[in-house]
Structure 1
Amino acid sequence: MIVGEVPTLDHFKLAFDAVAKQRQYDNRLTIVSYEGRTKPLWAAETVAYIAWRDGALDYMFDELAAVEAARSRRRRLKVHRPHHADRLAEMI
Structure 2
Amino acid sequence: MWTPDASIIVTAEQKAAKAAAELTDTFRLAIQSHVDQTAQSRRYDSGNSLASYVASTNEAWAAEAQAFVAWRDEIWAHAYAELDKVTAGARPVPEVAELMAELPAMVWPEAA
**Which category of TM-score, normalised to the shorter sequence, fits these structures?**
0.5 to 0.7
**Which residue of structure 2 lines up, in the alignment, with residue 47 of structure 1?**
66
Aligned to 1:62: 81
Q: Which has the larger radius of gyration?
A: 1
Q: Which has the higher contact order (CA 8 A, sep 6+)?
A: 2
| Alpha-carbon distance, 1:59 to partner | 0.5
Could you list the runs of 5+ residues in structure 2 that have no partner in the other structure?
1-22, 91-112
**Deviation beyond 6 Å, 4+ runs, structure 1:** none
Q: Could you say which residue in structure 2 is the equivalent of 1:18? A: 37
Whole-angstrom CA distance in 1 between matches of 2:75 and 2:50: 16
Q: Give the partner amino acid of 1:64.
A: L
> Where does structure 1 lack aligned partners over 5 or more consecutive residues?
72-92
Deviation at 1:26, TM superposition (A): 0.8
Separation in structure 2 between the aligned mates of residue 49 and residue 34 of structure 1, nearest angstrom: 10
In the superposition, the TM-score normalised over structure 2's length comes to: 0.56
Deviation at 1:30, TM superposition (A): 0.6
Q: After superposition, what is the alpha-carbon deviation per residue over 1:10-30, rounded to whole angstroms, capped at 9, x for unaligned?
A: 111100001001111011111
Matched pairs, number: 67
AA matched with 1:53: R
Q: Could you say what secondary structure the match of 1:34 adopts?
A: helix
Match of 1:31 in 2: 50
TM-score between both structures, scaled by the size of structure 1: 0.67
Q: Give aligned-pair identity as a percent.
A: 31
Match of 2:27 in 1: 8
Question: RMSD between aligned alpha carbons?
Answer: 1.8
